[in-house]
Amino acid sequence: MWILLQEAWHCQVTEEGREKAEEKEKRDRRIQRRVMKSEQIHKVVEAVAEDTGMDVAFLRISTHFEYLSDEVSGPESESETPEDWKFRLATLANLRNDPTSLKATQILEFLVPGWRDEQYTEFVHSLQNRYEKRGKGDSKQYHCVYAGRVSTRIPRYALYNSGVKQD
């Protein structure tokens, strides 16, 4: 109990503590988003297995949340304001980028994992698209944009040799 109080105090009083707390909050949001994507994909896994003849267990394991890409909801550095970041991504996604439209638009930027090969990325995206086209889930709340940033996060578990870049 005392350690938790010390950590909470440290986060409130020191700059280093505040930065660590912000970083932990970012990491937790990204994990939560990946878990949600994984659960959505798992809702269509059986239909995909039936159509393709792939093993359901393999599909579930290969779409574990650890293997999915991170999505960020703001700029990584302080050199770019959140408004500038949103305008830049809206331009990349060919969305209306006037100030009124941008306020109502929610944008996420994909960070493609540096360890993951392109074929596996396309496979995961096809499963996500299948979930969205299914029409039973939540309507798409975000516009997801790939702006070229790569995630340095490495999953805790290994996918053996499938889906991993060989270069």
119 is a domain residue? yes
Rounded CA gap, 90 and 104, in Å?
A: 12
User: Which pLDDT score is estimated for 32?
Assistant: 92
12 belongs to a structural domain: no
**pLDDT band at 147, cuts 50/70/90?**
confident
pLDDT above 70: residue 135: no
User: pLDDT by residue (tens digit) across 3-36?
Assistant: 777 777 767 778 888 888 888 888 888 899 999 9
Any domain includes 124: yes
Lowest mean pLDDT, pick from 29-43, 50-64, 86-100: 86-100
Please tell me the predicted confidence (pLDDT) of residue 140.
Answer: 55
Place of tokens 């830049």: 88
Q: What is the pLDDT of residue 138?
A: 52
Q: Which of 144, 117, 119 is nearest to 129 (CA)?
A: 144
Number of domains in the chain: 1
Instruction: Note whether residue 45 is domain-resident.
Output: no
Per-residue model confidence (pLDDT) at position 115: 87
Is 163:117 a contact under the CB 8 Å cutoff?
yes
**Which contiguous run of DSSP H or E holds residue 60?**
helix 56-62
